[in-house]
């Protein structure tokens, strides 16, 4: 693992990789916001970890830090654990930053609809997730006469992805309440950290 630093919000976080954590042998990752650091072990109780397990552990700790910076540290350990597991699958199987037509969620294909006008409501809708029809529908690209930038549209897609994962597999109220802000943080981390971004397969 050749990543040494990662930018999360206004923080530049140091990433330290160890053969093991010594006496903390039941841990494979540690997030320390007060020290602006993430520690990752390459082994667990004497066994060398698979590279995908190490990546999932890093993603897990990064998600903790996103929660700390963007949401105020509100998500429980079990929520972060499940988010890391499902996002690892989504990031490896789908090229989400390049406007995919569909997204594979653990074997379920969701169609992505862009620039959609929701005629049944007078309130503006940025995104709608329908787990019955397996669609993620994005609102109009133009708002108040101005086009939304690509970054805004991808952030909405990430929001839809998080909503599917939460709705189908986690069902956590704190994540529901903070999912929009968390999506913005996750987008920022993926865009600002090329080395971290390149650790995932993105459907290749």
SS3 of 105-119: ECCEEEEEECCCCCC
Neighbours of 79 (CB within 10 A): 19
CA 168 to chain centre: 16
User: Which band of pLDDT confidence, cut at 50, 70 and 90, is reported for residue 140?
Assistant: confident
Give the pLDDT confidence of 13-60 residue by residue, as tens digits: 999 998 877 655 567 899 999 999 999 998 887 788 999 999 999 999
Instruction: Kindly state the average pLDDT of the residues 106-121.
Output: 86
* 51 and 34 Cβ atoms separated by less than 8 Å: no
d(CA 178, CA 173): 9
User: Which band of pLDDT confidence, cut at 50, 70 and 90, is reported for residue 124?
Assistant: low
Give the pLDDT confidence of 54-86 residue by residue, as tens digits: 999 999 999 999 999 999 999 999 999 999 999
What's the predicted TM-score (pTM) here?
A: 0.92
Q: 182 versus 2: which is more confidently predicted? A: 182
Q: 128 — phi, psi (to 5°)?
A: -135, 135
d(CA 134, CA 150): 23
Instruction: Kindly state the average pLDDT of the residues 173-196.
Output: 98
**Domain positions in the chain:** 5-197
Q: Dig out the tokens for 31 from the structure.
A: 């997030």
pLDDT on residue 120: 59
pLDDT on residue 164: 97
d(CA 76, CA 73): 8
pLDDT on residue 149: 85
């Amino acid at each position: 693992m050749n990543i040494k630093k990662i930018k999360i919000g206004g923080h530049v976080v140091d990433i330290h990789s160890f053969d093991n954590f010594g006496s903390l042998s039941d841990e494979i990752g540690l997030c320390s916001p007060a020290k602006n650091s993430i520690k990752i072990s390459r082994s667990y109780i004497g066994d060398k970890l698979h590279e995908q397990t190490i990546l999932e552990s890093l993603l897990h700790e990064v998600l903790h830090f996103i929660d700390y910076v963007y949401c105020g540290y509100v998500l429980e350990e079990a929520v972060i654990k499940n988010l890391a597991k499902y996002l690892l699958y989504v990031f490896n199987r789908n090229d989400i930053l390049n406007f995919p037509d569909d997204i594979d969620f653990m074997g379920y294909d969701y169609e992505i609809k862009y620039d959609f006008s929701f005629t049944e409501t007078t309130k503006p809708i940025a995104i709608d997730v329908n787990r019955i029809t397996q669609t993620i529908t994005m609102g109009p690209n133009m708002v108040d006469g101005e086009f939304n930038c690509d970054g805004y549209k991808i952030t909405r897609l990430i929001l839809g992805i998080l909503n599917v994962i939460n709705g189908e597999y986690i069902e956590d109220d704190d994540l529901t309440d903070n999912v929009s802000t968390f999506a913005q943080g996750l987008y920022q981390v993926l865009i600002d950290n090329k080395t971290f971004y390149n650790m995932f397969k993105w459907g290749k």
